[in-house]
């Protein structure tokens, strides 16, 4: 029970160190091993990378956990991709609007010509 409490405290302090020190990380986890870079597969953080204990998954992990990059660092590439996608959508919509205006003008011109011809008869 005491080891679980100390493990939780170490995990919290590791998370705090990550947020206060940016990208710096410990060279060893609390087991004395080198942390491994892992990619998250959770719904909350899909694809986000973190440093964790090499013993994770075999039941002997020490609880070491540090994000490999801050949320802000991860946010910039995501926002750039979103902007690129939105620019593409704007371009498509502008083309569709141009075509719709051209069709409307041709239809209007055709109607004017038809009315004019009908009035000449």
Residues 54 and 77 in one domain: no
- The number of C-alpha atoms within 13 Å of 84 and in the hemisphere containing its C-beta is 6
Given pLDDT bands bounded at 50, 70 and 90, which one contains residue 27? confident
Q: Do 16 and 64 fall into the same domain?
A: yes
Compute the distance between CA of residue 45 and CA of residue 49 in angstroms, rounded to an integer: 9
Q: Does residue 58 sit in the same domain as residue 77?
A: no
- 79 and 50, same structural domain? no
Q: Does 23 lie in the same domain as 51?
A: yes
**Final residue before a domain boundary, out of 69, 87, 102:** 69
Give the domain extent around 90. 71-121
Number of domains observed in the structure of the chain: 2
Provide the β-strand partners of residue 38: 50
Alpha-carbon distance 54 to 6, whole Å?
Answer: 19
Residues 22 and 52 in one domain: yes
- pLDDT digits 0-9 by tens, 53-107: 988 878 777 889 888 877 676 677 878 888 999 999 999 999 999 999 999 999 9
Global model pTM greater than 0.75: no
Question: 25-60 burial, b for 16+ CB within 10 Å, e for fewer?
Answer: beeebbeeeebeebeeeeeeeeebebbbbbebeeee
Q: Over the stretch 101-115, which tens digit does the pLDDT of each residue have?
A: 999 999 999 999 999
């Amino acid at each position: 029970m005491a080891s679980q409490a100390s493990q939780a405290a170490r995990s919290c302090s590791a998370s705090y160190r990550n947020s206060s020190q940016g990208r710096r990380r410990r060279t060893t986890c609390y087991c004395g091993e080198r942390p491994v870079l892992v990619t998250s597969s959770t719904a909350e953080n899909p694809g986000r990378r973190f440093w964790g204990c090499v013993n994770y998954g075999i039941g002997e992990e020490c609880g070491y956990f540090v994000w490999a990059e801050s949320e802000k660092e991860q946010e910039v590439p995501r926002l750039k991709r979103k902007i690129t996608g939105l620019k593409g959508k704007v371009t498509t919509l502008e083309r569709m609007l141009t075509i719709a205006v051209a069709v409307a003008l041709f239809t209007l011109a055709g109607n004017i010509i038809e009315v004019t011809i009908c009035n000449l008869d």
